Amino acid sequence: MIKVLLLFLLLIAGIVIGPIFAGHQGYVLIQTESWNIETSITALTIMLLVLVAALFIVEWILRRIFRTGARTRGWFLGRKSKRARKQTSQALLKLAEGDYQQVERLLSKHAEHAEQPVVNYLLAAEAAQQRGDDARASQYLDNAASLAEDSPIPVEITRVRLQLARNEDHAARHGIDKLLEIAPRHPEVLRLAEQAYIRTSAWSSLLDIIYPMEKAGVGDEAHRAALEERAWIGLMDQAMAEQGSDGLKRWWQNQSRKTRHQPMLQVAMAEHLIQCDDHETAQKIILDGVKRQYDERLVMLMPRLKTATPEEVEKVLRQQIKTHGDRPLLWSTLGQMLMKHGEWKEASLAFRAALKQRPDAFDYAWLADTLDRLKMPEEAATMRRDGLLLSLKKEADI
């Protein structure tokens, strides 16, 4: 641009100076309807130069004025940004102290000038929630949402967290459902989903997030297993509450074979059926489960059964003893089953086999009862004494 200007000036100078040296300045006539302008080429050129120079001067003055305004505006904005950074730092210290009123004030005062205004508004919302000011918390969330239209996940996570804190469980579940559509494996979304689904008894939805929780590394394996068990038991509770034993059995039959073969679920299902006084179906589930895979939790349910065919349970127990060896739980359970229909001699032998492997206060008591039935009071008294001493020793150790 400067080079073009210099060439233009040289050209004008040549036009002006050339005629002067040649003694011929030329003649210019500008004529209109009402007036005429007569001048030489030299004079016209000088006037044009003066006009151009005047325009440059005006431009320079205007540039200086606007540049000064921009600098002033930038100074004010920089001052507010600096103040916002300072207040944000102070707010974080107050947050560590638990002074939520000061945290809210410092974060919200110049939030629009902070480096990350959305973060300021979200922290201010949580501070207001801690103070119990739901209206201000909602206002800060709305401010954050208006600034984070392209990335709504942090805002919606905070909204759900505050809803759970206010026990607005169904509203939180609605928010979680939308968040899972956007970020199905976001760790914090999954943690909040766990809370929302448990509080609203959304057991099917809780089961659906177990696998994403595993992939996202949310909780350890034991936690996820306990969560899955809780969800299945919740579904059983719902089926039993709505339609009783018949509805519970229909629900069980509608599950996949893989699901019905899980020992944990077989135990829970048998317990629910026993509560419904459906001992026959409970016995079938327990025996099928034990035959397929030995599980002590299923064995421990056998004495609670009240069926017309206890001999089936005894038969399975004897088969398990042959298959898995002399396990004290199997012998003790067999003894309890034999006691139910008066086979005192066989029951005493079973309890002796259990006690031979490990002392147990309950087995001592049951053995004493069978010995009383067998007219052996002295040995029965000895068994009761041994059981009492064992109980006292355990209490002393505790």
Cα 180 to Cα 117, 156, 214, 216, 251: the distances in Å are 25, 11, 15, 13, 27
Residue 248 pLDDT level (bands cut at 50, 70, 90)? very high
The DSSP secondary structure of 118-158, one letter per residue, reads: HHHHHHHHHHHHHTT-HHHHHHHHHHHHHH-SS--HHHHHH
**Tokens of residue 241, six digits:** 């509450």
pLDDT at 77 over 50: no
Q: Provide φ and ψ at 325, rounded to 5°.
A: 90, 180
pLDDT (tens digit per residue) in 121-167:
777 787 777 787 778 887 877 778 777 777 788 888 888 999 998 89
Please give the DSSP secondary-structure letter assigned to residue 30: E
pLDDT (tens digit per residue) in 347-383:
999 999 999 999 999 999 999 999 999 999 999 999 9
Helix (H, G, I), strand (E, B) or coil at 202: coil
Please give the DSSP secondary-structure letter assigned to residue 114: S
Rounded to whole angstroms, how far apart are CA atoms 289 and 316? 11
Rounded to whole angstroms, how far apart are CA atoms 247 and 241? 9
Please give the domain boundaries of the chain with CATH numbers for all domains: 2-76 (no CATH), 243-308 (no CATH), 313-398 (1.25.40.10)
Q: Provide φ and ψ at 309, rounded to 5°.
A: -130, 65
Residue 137 CB contacts under 8 Å (≥ 6 apart), including other chains: 125, 126, 128, 129, 162
pLDDT (mean) for 164-187: 92
Q: Is the distance from CB of 300 to CB of 329 less than 8 angstroms?
A: yes
